[in-house]
Chain A
Amino acid sequence: MARPIINVPAKARRGQVIEIKTLVSHVMETGYRHTETGERVPRDIITEFVCVYNDEEIFRATLSPAVAANPFITFHTLATESGKLTFRWTGDNGFSETGTATIEVE
Chain B
Amino acid sequence: MRSIDIVLRCVSTSGFVLMLVLLDSLSATTDTRRSTYDDMSRDIRAMQDDDMANPASLWVNDGAALWSQPAGAAQMSCADCHGDAATSMKGVAARYPVFDAARGKPVGLEARINHCRKTRQQAPAFAPESRDLLALTAFVGRQSRGLPITTGDDPRLAPFVEAGRMIFERRQGQLNLSCAICHDHNAGKRLASALIPQAHPTGYPIYRLEWQSLGSLARRLRNCMAGMRAAPYATGSDEIVALELFLMARARGMATETPAVRP
Q: Is the pair A27, B58 in contact by a Cβ cutoff of 8 Å?
A: no
- Contacts A2-B62, A5-B52, A7-B52 known; A23 to B57 CB distance under 8 Å? yes
Which residues of chain B (51-74) have a CB below 8 Å from chain A?
Answer: 52-53, 55, 57-59, 61-62
Q: Is A13 among interface residues, defined by CB-CB distance under 8 A?
A: no
Q: Is B12 among interface residues, defined by CB-CB distance under 8 A?
A: no
* Chain A residue with Cβ nearest B214: A70
Per-residue B-contact encoding for A1-44, CB less than 8 Å = 1, 0 else: 11101010000000000000101010110000000000000000
* Chain A residue with Cβ nearest B211: A69
Q: Is the pair A2, B58 in contact by a Cβ cutoff of 8 Å?
A: yes
Q: Is the pair A5, B212 in contact by a Cβ cutoff of 8 Å?
A: no
Q: Is the pair B58, A21 in contact by a Cβ cutoff of 8 Å?
A: no
Kindly list chain B residues whose C-beta atoms are within 8 Å of the C-beta of A27.
212
Bound-state CA distance A40–B218 (Å) is 28
Compute the total of residue contacts between A and B using a CB distance below 8 Å. 32
Q: Is the pair A2, B61 in contact by a Cβ cutoff of 8 Å?
A: yes
- What's the nearest-Cβ distance from chain B to residue A26, in Å? 10
Q: Is B213 among interface residues, defined by CB-CB distance under 8 A?
A: yes
What is the interface residue range for chain B against chain A? 10 to 19
Q: Is the pair B213, A72 in contact by a Cβ cutoff of 8 Å?
A: no
Kindly list chain A residues whose C-beta atoms are within 8 Å of the C-beta of B58.
2, 5, 23, 25, 70
Q: Is A61 among interface residues, defined by CB-CB distance under 8 A?
A: no
Q: Is A68 among interface residues, defined by CB-CB distance under 8 A?
A: yes
Bound-state CA distance A23–B53 (Å) is 7
Q: Is the pair A23, B212 in contact by a Cβ cutoff of 8 Å?
A: no
Bound-state CA distance A3–B61 (Å) is 8
Which residues of chain B (180-224) have a CB below 8 Å from chain A?
Answer: 209, 212-213
Given contacts A23-B53, A68-B212, A69-B212, could you give 19 more A-B pairs where the C-beta distance is less than 8 Å? A1-B62, A2-B58, A2-B59, A2-B61, A2-B62, A2-B135, A5-B61, A7-B52, A21-B52, A23-B57, A23-B58, A25-B58, A27-B212, A68-B209, A69-B55, A70-B58, A70-B212, A72-B53, A72-B55
Residues of B within 8 A of A (CB): 52-53, 55, 57-59, 61-62, 135, 209, 212-213
